Structures are given as C-alpha cells and as structure tokens.
Amino acid sequence: MIINIDSTDRTSLINWESLKITDNINEKVNTCSFSLQVKEGQSYVPSVGDSVEITDTDTLFAGTIIKVNRKMISSLIEQYDIQCKDWTQEINRFLVSESFTNKTVSYIIEYLLTNYAPTFTDNNVACELEFSSLKFNNLTVSQCIQKLSEATNYFWYIDYDKDIHFFAKADELSSFNLTDTNENYIPQSLILTEDISQVRNIVKVQGGEVEGSSRTETHDGDGTKTTFPTYNKFSTVPTVTVGGSPKTVGVDYLDDEASYDCFWNFNEKYVRFKVAPVNGSNNIAITGIPLIPIIAQVQDDDSVAELGTYEYYIKDTTIRSTDEAKQRAGAELDAYANSLTEGSFRTYTDGLKSGQVINIQSDVRGIDEDYLIQSVRTSMLSPYKRQYDVTIASMRTLGIIYFLQNLLLTGRREEKTTENDVVYKYYIDWQQIQVTEDITLEELMQDYQDTEVTELIRKDPFVVQWVLSPYFPTSDSDPKRPMRLSISSYLS
C-alpha cells in the first residue's frame, strides 16, 4: 500500500495502526484519517489542502487534507494527526447562482462542471430527464447535483478520478457473497436488525384531477339570491340556463361586468348573477365537465394480519390516472408493508465497496436476501492486512425509488418556481492601486535668538512691623509682616 501526499510517497512516515478509511454510499462524503510522525532532522510538514491518494491494487482513497493537528510525542518526534475528505471538498469551492429552462440533467451537470469545477468530468452521467424550469441560488456544486438527485430519484457520487456518476439504480454486484461455509466473513459479526417503525400496509394515494362526464346541477330561484354554489369544480366555463333560457357566462373578476349575465368562479366554486333569478323550482341549471380527484387505496392483507393496521397517505399531483395511483400505492407497499432490515458484518476479504449489492444466504439462520452495502470502514491489522466493517440495508426500499424514476420518464420535471424568484449573482472587481510619496529633505538651518533677562533685587530698607495674621503686604515697600502669636512672641 502506498500513501502519496501531494504526489510524493510518504508511506514510511505513516503510523499504519492509525489509518482509517470510510467509504460511504453514493453522495455521502468518504473520509480518511491517519497519523504521520516526523523525527528530528526531517523537514517535511503536511498542510491543509494537500492532496492525498492511497493505493494498493486499486485506489482506496483520494481527496484533500482538511485538518492537521500537531503534537510532540517525545522530545525528538512530532506527530501530525490528519483528517481528509474525498473530492467533495474541492468541488464545493464555488457557489452557483444559475437558472435553466428546458434543459436535461446531463446538460445541467455538464454546465456546472465546465463553469464551476473544470477539473471534474461527467463521463458517467446518464440522465435525459428534462426540467422545464430550475433555479440554483447560492448553492455549492454538490448541493446542485443533490437537488437534481432528489428531484429525479437518481443516485450520484464522485469517484476517486474526479468523475461524476449519476445513475438510475444500484446494480453493481459485490465481488463475493456471504454463506455459512465460504468463510468470507466472521460469522459472529453478522448482525441483522428488523425495524417496523416505517411499516405501511394500507396506502391511500391522491393524485391529480381528471375530467369526468358532463353533469348538471340545479338550484331554486327566489327572486333575491344572486350567488349559487357549484358542487363540482368544472374544468371549463359551464353553461347556465334560467327557466330554460340560456345565460351568458363570464369568469368572475376577469371578464367585464357589463358583458355577461352571470359569472363563474373556478376556485370558490360558485355562479354569481347580476340580477337575482326569479322564483322557481329547479329553474336554475348549471352544466359542465367536472374535475374528479384521482384516489386509490391498496392494502396488504398479509401484513395487516401479521402486524396490524398501519395507514399511510400520499398526495402526488403528478399522477394522472387511477392505474398510476394504484401502482404508486403498490410500490409503497412493496417497500414498507413488511419490516425493514439493517445490519453489519466484519470481513478480512478485500473488494467490497459501498453501493454494491451483496447476497446473504444462510441455512442456519434462515436468510436468503440481497442487501445494499451502505458503508465500508477500513482499518489496519498489520502493515499488510486490512479489516473491513460493513453496514448493509434491505433492498426492498429501492422498489419505491425505481417506480418514481419511471413515473418521471413520462413527462418533464418542473421545479416549483415563480416569476418573482430571482437568482442573485454578484461580482467583485479587484483593482490594484499603487501610491507613491515624494519626500524632499531640506538642509538643516540653525536659528539663533538673543534673549536679555534682568533681575531686580530689593533689600528691605525698613524695620519689619509684625502684625497678626492673616495679612498680605500691599506692596514691596510695605514693612508689615504676619506673625503667629505664641509664647515666644510679644507685643510692644
């Protein structure tokens, strides 16, 4: 095994016991961590942003150093604890603000890579589903691809060669399966967990609306009432008669009030007359083509008998027929009518990757089922032997995903947007300004000034006259001076 950091072999510096690699399914980020020790006299120092590639017969990991923690483990050895992410770190350097009209997923991904991640390729993107309208507002490239993935129910990931994979289903088989006798795993490590928290065994699906057969609704006029409800939502403007006489019908709040006898409101479901119809029994007739909601309910009797009733409701306006509604409910039952299974096992055999399908067949445990590998965590038992901890999940949940993919193939996908949605794109214009300063050094000048100072000294020409304090002499010729009265003083 070779560990290259920034294209230089640093394997000899790696503490092999510290190496951990986690390979996660699809768009989830793959990670790697290890410790690197540098002794006195060695000048190498790893840095965040350095590329990392770990290879054996295949590439085990490739990505970027995102964190380095350094510490002294002795007076002469410094240890660097390093954490890495796959190429997701690099592809997410820029934010995307773009809008697309009538473009396929393949076109959109190619555009994103060309303009925001030119070092990545799209050789394994295969999706011709078309969006009539789609907007990205300040999203990373991986967030944009994830949005496409969620809208189409496709899967995606970035491989270690920086190529994007965008595909419809997981059909890659693992290099080996698990049985009671093939010794491809540690038998005691296989743990399977059944979960009924997501069980759904009676599924009701409400789809869009379809046009029914023409229907007529009648009302009684009373000479004062002007508004009459329509019990059906008609697909187009209905015809209206009063006492057998036809009336002109406009659309309420849209058509000119003076041009029609009455007005129809689609959303509120009513007809409003300008003049109240005359008294009569069923003399007002409203005829139109009603819109009927598609509703289907499908039940799994065996699941209900075993687990009890678990009802679930789905509303999907893209469903346009009763058959599609039944298929949608059936796909939901296939995925969730029974308990879901998750599990894990440990193996020393190389070759497993997340996203592969592995079969577990055990006569001892009564198991024969396919599972989807969710993650593979690699750790080192020795410099030359690896251990793999593998997590798996039942394949049954993929049935609903495949159904949704097929449903999308019948029409173009439209992301819900409005004309008021605005994609903001800002640009920063950097300009370099050079400022120079000229300083002129003048010759030093010495400035001399003549200053004349006079001093007047006056010697007292008089005998002091002592007076009680407080007292301040009035002038320099005043002989009076304050004294303090004490036992040593006297007055003459």
d(CA 172, CA 163): 17
CB 65 within 8 A of CB 10: no
Number of C-beta neighbours around residue 465 at 10 A = 10
d(CA 78, CA 80): 7
Predicted confidence at residue 2, as pLDDT, reads 93
Determine, yes or no, domain membership for 191.
no
**Are the CB atoms for 38 and 7 separated by under 8 Å?**
no
52 plus 19 within the same structural domain:
yes
Q: Are 16 and 80 within one domain?
A: yes
Tokens encoding 474: 């009035």
Backbone angles phi, psi at 278, to 5 degrees: -70, 165
Bridge partners (DSSP) listed for residue 65: 84
Boundary residue ending a domain (287, 303, 321): 287
- Counting the structural domains of the chain, the total is 5
CA-based R_g, the chain, Å: 44
* Token pair of 17 as six digits: 């016991």
Q: Look at residue 238 and tell me if it is in a domain.
A: yes
Based on the fold, state whether residues 29 and 50 are members of the same structural domain: yes
Mean pLDDT, consecutive 10-residue segments, the chain of 492 residues?
93 93 90 92 90 92 95 91 94 92 94 96 90 88 90 86 86 88 91 84 88 93 95 93 96 94 94 95 95 89 88 85 83 76 91 91 91 92 92 69 49 42 42 76 72 71 76 81 69 57
Same domain, 15 and 44: yes
Long-range contacts of 70-79 (CB under 8 A, 24+ apart): 73/37, 76/39, 76/40, 77/37, 77/38, 77/39, 77/40, 78/37, 78/38, 79/15, 79/35, 79/36, 79/37, 79/38
Contact 352, 388 (CB under 8 A): yes
Cβ atoms of 474 and 489 within 8 Å: the answer is no
Asked if the structure places residue 33 within a domain, the reply is yes
User: Is 370 part of any domain?
Assistant: no
Pair 7, 67 in one domain: yes
Residue 319 CA to residue 326 CA, distance in Å, equals: 10
CA nearest 152: which of 427, 421, 415? Answer: 415
**Contact (CB, 8 A) for 415 and 318:** no
In a domain, 376, yes or no: no
Residues 69 and 141 both lie in one domain: no
**Could you check whether the bond before residue 383 is cis, i.e. omega within 30 degrees of 0?**
no
**Neighbouring C-beta atoms of residue 385, cutoff 10 Å:** 9
* 73 and 6 together in one domain: yes
Last residue within a domain, chosen from 38, 66, 86: 86
Nearest C-alpha neighbor of 61 from the set 53, 71, 49, 69: 53
Q: What six digits make up the tokens of 73? A: 């483990």
Contact residues for 25 (Cβ-Cβ < 8 A; gap 6+): 157, 354, 355, 372, 373, 374, 375
CATH number for the domain harbouring residue 140:
3.55.50.10
Q: Mark whether 45 and 81 lie in a shared domain.
A: yes
Is residue 309 in some structural domain?
Answer: yes
Residues 23, 98 within the same domain: no
Residues in the chain: 492
Verify that 318 and 277 share a domain, yes or no: no
Q: Is residue 428 a part of any domain in this protein?
A: no
Choose among 302, 329, 322, 340: nearest CA to 193. 340
Gap between the Cα atoms of 28 and 32, Å rounded: 13
Q: By C-alpha distance, which of 481, 485, 484 is closest to 473?
A: 481
Specify the amino acid at residue 57: T
For the record, the structure tokens of 22 come out as 């986690």
The residue among 61, 86, 111 that closes a domain is 86
Question: Does a structural domain hold residue 259?
Answer: yes
Amino acid sitting at position 350: D
AA identity, residue 445: M
CATH code of the domain covering residue 326: 3.30.1920
Which range marks the domain in which residue 267 is found? 215-287
Give the CATH number, domain containing residue 39. Answer: 2.30.300.10
